[in-house]
Structures are given as structure tokens and as C-alpha cells.
Amino acid sequence: MQKNFIEIDGARMSYVDQGQGFPVLLGHSYLWSAAMWQPQIDALSRYFRVIVPELWGHGDSAAPPAATTDMRALARQHLALLDALDIPKCHLVGLSVGGMWGAELAADHPTRIDHLVLMDTYLGAEPEATRLKYFALLDAASAADSFSDALLDIIVPIFFHAGGQTVPEIRERFRADLKASSTETIRQSLDPLGRVIFGRPDLLPRLAELPGERTIVLCGDQDIPRPPEESGEMSRIIGCLAAQIPNAGHISSLENPQVVNAFLLNWLPRNR
């Protein structure tokens, strides 16, 4: 996967830029990288220009710059990427935190986003019980300067189908990548960014600003951190369609790529 680099807010952001046609911006999940979208990059880049920025401290992007204090800052930084690439309008597909900043970007700059796909994400505040759980996991990782096996036993299953060992190779690679995280990455990137994500305010009212006819909410039917009930709640506020991706957890793009690819290729207009 070829990476490109750009400076935003004084820090180096990495991104993939592949294919030609109307642009599609893909936003990935916390603790992952552009590789999370590899099946979609392969499929969509036959018809679209696919751009996949990597979240600060993830993949080959630098630690988050000081200005990265909330979700709106992330939205503004990704808008700066579109500006630098001279992209006046694109489709946006955001999964998890990619959907959080993606919805903010679409609400703040409605003329810049054509079709919006919100996947396995939630714009409400993190429920208190899970917020405290995630903060405790961040505290433990930062205190130990690593992701211990005990922590990984808790963290890794969160991202996958609850009912069995789907995509075992991907699970093991994800676990190995997290285990290899440096002290610097944990303390300077994953910890502060996790607190921005899980400490986010309730942004559900902003969803009413999104265009219902050009927005859809997708969710793995076995998503643990972002269950289908949340997708249903968001779709009702937006006034848009909602659909479940069968046999998939939180990283539905990798657990059921065939269904995700087919949907995106059918739903995203190719000529705008």
C-alpha cells in the first residue's frame, strides 16, 4: 500500500490516494490504519479516486498536533486534506471514529460531501459505563508503557463478531500490531486521542443537519461497541435508511467485505 504525506497543523499525516474518478474519502477506526479498508480500496478504486487518511498516531501518521482537542478539530484537519488535494466535493465513508469526524465535517461543510455512509459509529456521548471502561484501559496501557496480554484479551474481541472466530488471521495480526505499539505511540497518540473519542460530547442533535436522502447508516449485526440499536437511533434523527451487515462485528469492512463492497459500489454515484 503506497502512502503519501502532507503536513496539517504542523504534523505529518499519511494517506492513500488510489484510482481515478469521483473522490471517495474513507475514515478508519481507532487503533487501526488505512489497511482496514484494503478490500474497499481494491474494489472502489476501479471506479473512484479513493483517499484514505490515517488517523494521528496510526499507520504512518505522526502524533496528533496540539490543536487536536475534539472531534470538530479532526473534521477540520480532514477538510484541510481535501483542500490541499483540491477536492471540492467527495463521498465520505466513515467507520467508528471515522464516522464521528465524518458526520461533523458533513454537517459543518454540507457542500463538500455528496453521499455520506456512517458505519459502526455513534454520534451520541459514550455511555458512562463504557467510557469509564475505556479510560481505565488507556490508564493501564499508559502506566505499563505497553499493551499487555491481559489488556489485549479484553481489547481485541471488542472489534470483532461476538459469536466466534471469524477472520482469525486478521484478529491475530491486529493483536500483534497493538502489542508492538511503542511507549511513545501509546502515550503521545493512542491515549490522548482515545480520550478525545470516548470523552466526546453528545453530537446527536447535529445529525438532523445531514441530508437524509444522501446519508445511510450501516452496522455489523454483531457489533459490540456500537450495537445496531444506536444505528437505528441515528437513522431516525437523520431521516435516512439504516441497514445491518450480516455476520460482522465492529470492523465490518474486514469481517464481511463482500457485502460492504457490493453495497458501496451500488449506492455511491460514480458520476457527479
Amino acid 31 reads: L
In a domain, 48, yes or no: yes
Distance of CA 119 to the CA centre of its chain: 8
Using a 10 angstrom Cβ sphere, with 0-12 exposed, 13-18 middle and 19 or more buried, the burial of residue 109 is: middle
pLDDT value of position 164: 67
- d(Cα 22, Cα 130) in Å, to the nearest integer? 38
pLDDT value of position 1: 86
In a domain, 183, yes or no: no
Which structural domain range is residue 232 located in? 4-125+202-267
Q: Nearest CA to 57 among 141, 127, 131, 153?
A: 141
In a domain, 245, yes or no: yes
In a domain, 86, yes or no: yes
CATH, residue 103: 3.40.50.1820
Residues 140, 154 contacting (CB under 8 angstroms): no
In a domain, 119, yes or no: yes
pLDDT along the chain (272 residues), means of 10: 96 98 98 98 98 98 96 97 98 98 97 98 96 95 94 95 83 96 96 96 96 97 95 97 96 97 97 76
- d(Cα 42, Cα 50) in Å, to the nearest integer? 9
In a domain, 108, yes or no: yes
In a domain, 272, yes or no: no
Residue 119 grid cell: 458505519
In a domain, 246, yes or no: yes
Count of domains observed in the chain: 1
Residues 155, 30 contacting (CB under 8 angstroms): no
Q: Which residues contact 138 (CB under 8 A, 6 or more apart)?
A: 190, 191, 194, 195
Tell me how far apart the terminal alpha carbons of the chain are, to the nearest angstrom: 27
Sign, CA dihedral 61-65-69-72, equals negative
